[in-house]
Amino acid sequence: MELKTGFAPYRRSKQTTFKIMLELLIVLLVVYLAAIIYNFTLGAAYGLKAILMLLVSIVTTFLCDLFVAGIRYKKDKDDAFGPYLSKFLLGNYSIITAVILTLTVPIGTPYYVLIVGNIFATLLVKHAFGGFGNNIVNPAVAARIVLLLTFGSTLKATLGTDPIAGGSAAGATITTSYATQVWAKWLLGSLPEANGLTMLDIYLGRYSAAIGETFTILLLVAGVYLAVRKIINWRTPVFYFGTIALVAIPLALIAKVNVGNYLLLTFGLGGVVFGGVFMLTDPVTSPTSNFGKALIGVIAAFLTMLIRVAGNLPEGVAISILFVNFLVPVIDKLNGGVTNKNLWKKYVVAATLGLVTIGTMSAIGAGKMAKLAPGEDDTSEEPPVEIFVSYAGTYTSPAPDGGEHSSEFTTNVEVGLDIEFNIVKLEISDYASPPKYLKDNELEQLVSFYTTLDVKGFRDLSAISISDAGASVGEGAHLIPGKGYSSVAIYKAIENAFSDINIATGSHTSAMCGEHCTYEDETLTVDVYTSLEESKILTLNLSEEGQSTDSFKNKWANKYPEILALYQGLDIDTFIGYTDPAELYVVDGDDLAAGLTFTCDRLFYAVQDAFMH
């Protein structure tokens, strides 16, 4: 009789690695589908970009797998290349890495950044260590951190310059706004309202950030499903979320903000839920024991909150996961042997770590709040923007609903502009009838939007109005659905404030030197703001291109305020009468353009070109 032998365990599970990974992929694609649908609500370009981002990531990882498969193929050992390649591609599950990485970046991420990230994740983090099951850190996590450190400025939440929901400025996400709150970072609860968001918006994903991290409710449902199906071990996310909650409660009490709201914001904003469900639970980079899986949740929670509150980065989910990935071998070694022996020691270690985490974070929070002045709720170190000039405007709106339950109202605005005529301050009074018809967060949403524009950008907005039938006409971020009368009144009042301002645009190209010169010709474009009533130049707004660069950059930066002052207040007819830049730049025998002749001359002729049009 033949005896058959095999390795334990002898009780086989019906779930294979392939089935587990396939089910995980399906859940990830459901989340991605939600991201595509949301982005299509922002516009066709956004929805299309979301689809193409995923395709670029998948194709890149596929090509990386194909490249590695070709290198590792041994004909005498692996037989036919076709079956070998099929097994190799299906067995490395790189598509999951591609989907996760794409879900962790915002919609404005350039394609080349995604390509670099997926190459790093697939080739360097996974295959360099032997492929699936051998990597020591989560490939998507490592790649996301590399992209943050190397291409951080390109990870934008918009495709253009116009701000959208959840962005305090074009391209910014709501979590990046926390990074400017030096002393009270992640200790305040007012930021979402300042961006025009409600808690429902945050949990349904109706705002701009990393395209897969905003759908908090959907992610929680996905986590429960994966835990029930035993695709992930429930202990890791439960201990991760639980420790974060235990840390957040005393922080909220110290910061004197609503505990419930602060907890909701802590989990609703950023990548806590996404990271806890899809990244921290990675079976390859997790401890083998249940205790170890719970322990990494506690450690990762401490690091996440530490980086959020005390670090320079907006949040710390990815870095905390990477850190615990490195700790996994140590945890497995310390937790080896008989797993049911000295259980009390494990619980004591876990409880002590939890108490240390709560105590440490409470102390840090208390120390930061103590540095705030009484009543101060914003600790940005950015210097206050100096207002160059202010304009007042007014608009009288007809009574909403024909005056049945309201009356006409006159909206007054004061608009503060900086020296380049960017809108840096907007004060509004009497903007609705009844007065509370426009909610405070809706008013803040409009103020936040307008203060991302300059006067030219305001003029480029689509016009909005109220029809004879009382319906709002037009579209854009400056028209809040259902609040047409107030939106139009504020828009019209600002328009009235700018009624004396005229904008002319001109450009000039300088031939930097002769045909054998290595310098390229430079073109400078300038917006010239003038007063219609006084026929004078008010200020200039220069394009970045065409200004002095390289060794002349600092000299130009120091000299430009003095050069700009020559134009401000200058009579237009007088300037047009100049035929030589020296007539403007030479003052009392002193040539202010000396050493910066090319740039100053470009500016002179560009301004004259503006008046010729």
pLDDT in tens, 456-476: 989 988 898 888 777 888 888
Q: What's residue 194's pLDDT?
A: 41
Give me 246's structure tokens: 């235990």
> Which of helix, strand or coil describes residue 487?
helix
Residue 580 tokens, joined: 């030589």
Token code pair at residue 91: 């067995």
pLDDT of 331 over the 80 cut? yes
- Residue 192's pLDDT is what? 52
Q: Exposed, middle or buried by CB within 10 Å (0-12, 13-18, 19+), for 248?
A: buried
Task: Count how many residues are written for the chain.
Answer: 613
Coil, helix or strand at residue 168? coil
Q: Give the per-residue pLDDT at 339.
A: 55
Which of 127-136, 494-503, 537-546 is modeled with the greatest confidence? Answer: 494-503
Q: How confident is the model at residue 169 (pLDDT cuts 50, 70, 90)?
A: very low
Q: How many CB atoms lie within 10 A of CB 45?
A: 13
Q: Are 476 and 449 in contact (CB under 8 A)?
A: no
Sign, Cα dihedral of 429, 434, 440, 442: negative
- For the chain, give the percent of residues with pLDDT over 90: 31
Confidence of residue 381 (pLDDT cuts 50, 70, 90): very low
Start-to-end CA span in the chain (Å): 101
Which residues, other chains included, contact 484 with Cβ-Cβ below 8 Å and sequence gap of 6+?
A: 464, 466, 471, 472
> At a CB cut-off of 8 Å and minimum separation 6, what does 89 contact?
62, 65, 66, 69
Mean pLDDT of the chain: 82
Task: Report d(CA 448, CA 458) in Å as an integer.
Answer: 13
pLDDT at 380 over 70: no
pLDDT on residue 189: 53
Least confidently predicted of 31-35, 84-88, 369-373, 516-520 = 516-520
What does the pLDDT average to over 250-271?
Answer: 84
| Whether pLDDT at 612 is above 50 | yes
Can you tell me the mean pLDDT for 311-320?
A: 81
- Nearest residue to 230 (alpha-carbon basis) of 10, 13, 28: 13
- Residue 495: exposed, middle, or buried by beta-carbon count in 10 A (0-12, 13-18, 19+)? middle
pLDDT at 316: 82
Which range, of 87-101, 147-161, 357-371, 570-584, averages the lowest pLDDT? Answer: 357-371
Q: Which domains are assigned to the chain?
A: 13-155 (no CATH), 160-378 (no CATH), 389-497 (3.90.1010), 501-612 (3.90.1010)
Q: Check residue 307 and give its pLDDT.
A: 85
Say whether pLDDT at 77 is over 90.
Answer: no
Query: Mean pLDDT throughout 219-229?
Result: 94
**Helix 44-72 and helix 111-119, axial crossing angle in degrees, nearest 10:** 30
**Strongest mean pLDDT among 26-30, 457-461, 547-551:** 26-30
Between residues 251 and 2, the one the model is more confident about: 251
Q: Over range 201-230, report the average pLDDT.
A: 90
CA gyration radius, the chain: 30
Instruction: State residue 379's pLDDT score.
Output: 43
Name which of 176-180, 258-262, 441-445 the model is least confident about.
176-180
Least confident of 131-140, 184-193, 496-505: 184-193
Better-scored residue on pLDDT, 400 or 294: 294
- Residue from 119, 166, 169 nearest 140 by CA: 119
C-alpha–C-alpha distance, residues 542 and 406, integer Å: 46
User: Within its chain, how far is the Cα of 495 from the centroid?
Assistant: 30
pLDDT score of 71: 84
Q: Stretch 77-99: mean pLDDT, rounded?
A: 81
Interval 347-357: pLDDT, tens: 677 677 778 77
Q: Which residue has the higher pLDDT, 597 or 163?
A: 597
d(CA 305, CA 389): 42
| pTM score of the predicted model | 0.60
| CA neighbor of 157 nearest in space, from 118, 206, 192, 109 | 109
The residue whose two tokens read 């910014």 is 172
Q: Determine what percent of the chain is predicted with pLDDT higher than 70.
A: 83
User: What is the predicted pLDDT for the residue at 500?
Assistant: 93
Residue 338 has pLDDT above 60, yes or no: no
Structure tokens given for 388: 């160059």
The answer to whether the beta carbons of residues 292 and 331 sit under 8 Å apart is: yes
d(CA 22, CA 276) in angstroms, rounded, equals 19
Cβ pair 570, 529 in contact under 8 A: no
- 3-state DSSP call for residue 164? coil
What pLDDT shows up at residue 76?
A: 63
- CB-side neighbour CA atoms (13 Å) of 426: 28
**Residues paired with residue 571 on neighbouring β-strands, in sequence order:** 536
